[in-house]
Amino acid sequence: MGNFQNIIGHGNVIEFLQKSIEKNKVSHAYIISGEKGCGKKKIADSFCLALECEKGGIDGCMECHSCKQVLAGTHPDVIYLSREKENSIGVEEVRAQINNDVQIKPYNDKYKIYIIEDAHLLTVQAQNALLKTIEEPPEYVIILLLTSNSERLLPTIISRCVTLNLRPVNTDKIKNYLMQEFKIPDYKAAVCAAFSQGNVGRAIRLAKSDDFNELKDMALRLVKYVHDMEVHEMVEYIHLVQEKKMDLSEYLDLLLVWYRDVLMFKTTTDANRLIFKEEVTEIKKQASHSSYGGIEAIIEAVKTAKSRLEARVNIDLTMELLLSTMKEN
């Protein structure tokens, strides 16, 4: 946990929150929306630090007693809703931890902040119970709803909250952060940053993962020898990925990055713009072998395969169609 200064990206959201503190126009309820790993909790934690900081600025000082309590997770006025079930948040949890608690004034500071992670898991009854507090909150109460699926929140909840949508972070920012923070080489940082698709949490996980390195190596072996293999051999290779309990969707993302590199080189012949810079010889070979239309057909086939996997369409058939397209082009 850290303050706003330690967050990578999301400058527009941070600026909005800091201005609301500076102008004393903090709202009573916010929805912080974005995919898993994008930084929702970091934004919420940093907002809490700034709001509870004894120095009263627009960012937490990280040094005062109040900031230290927030950082340690022991601040009495910063309350994370706990839940018994993994896949839902019930009405009794909302009533017990929020509705019945909001009338107790803050112990230390100006604000009492309630944070609900995975707010999309709130049942309809729980949301309706929460709505009563959001509609008529005590002046010191702030509710932060963190979600990766805001569409599951009731329109009445959404209309009464300020919604902050977290966008993908610039890949160069992520790459530089990985190199500085984890001391990894330029090539690996570039691959993790590109593969993360702007998600800092995902990039960090990939940079620290031995499984990702193995998955990347397996993807590279396939794209390098695709024209020397029969489709049934390629399908068996995909089965090996599954047997190793690796994420097939991430495997497809790696294929996508590879063929985007091939297309990039064919278009620009600039090796410095590649993600897989160390594979420039093979990329150059494939770029000269394939047509623009062929490379674009493969990229679309990978995207289609990802969509079919998410829709739980037959995996073998999905992969056979993709691999046939790769082999033909």
125-155: buried (b, 16+ CB within 10 Å) or exposed (e) per residue?
A: ebbebbbebbeebeeebbbbbbbbebeebee
106 sits in which H/E element:
none
26 sits in which H/E element:
none
Taking residues 306-323, report their average pLDDT: 79
**What pTM was computed for the model?**
0.77
Strands 78-80 and 29-33: unpaired
Q: What pLDDT, on the 0 to 100 scale, is given for residue 1?
A: 66
Specify the range with the lowest mean pLDDT, choosing from 13-17, 181-185, 261-265. Answer: 181-185
Q: Which of 15-19, 185-189, 315-319 has the highest mean predicted lDDT (pLDDT)?
A: 15-19
Domains of the chain and any CATH numbers: 4-165 (3.40.50.300), 209-328 (1.20.272.10)
Bridge partner list, 114: 79, 143
- pLDDT at residue 328 greater than cutoff 80: yes
- pLDDT at residue 37 greater than cutoff 80: yes
Question: Phi/psi of residue 274, each to 5°?
Answer: -85, 150
pLDDT in tens, 181-231: 888 888 888 888 988 889 999 899 888 887 888 888 888 888 888 888 787
Percent of the chain with pLDDT over 70: 99
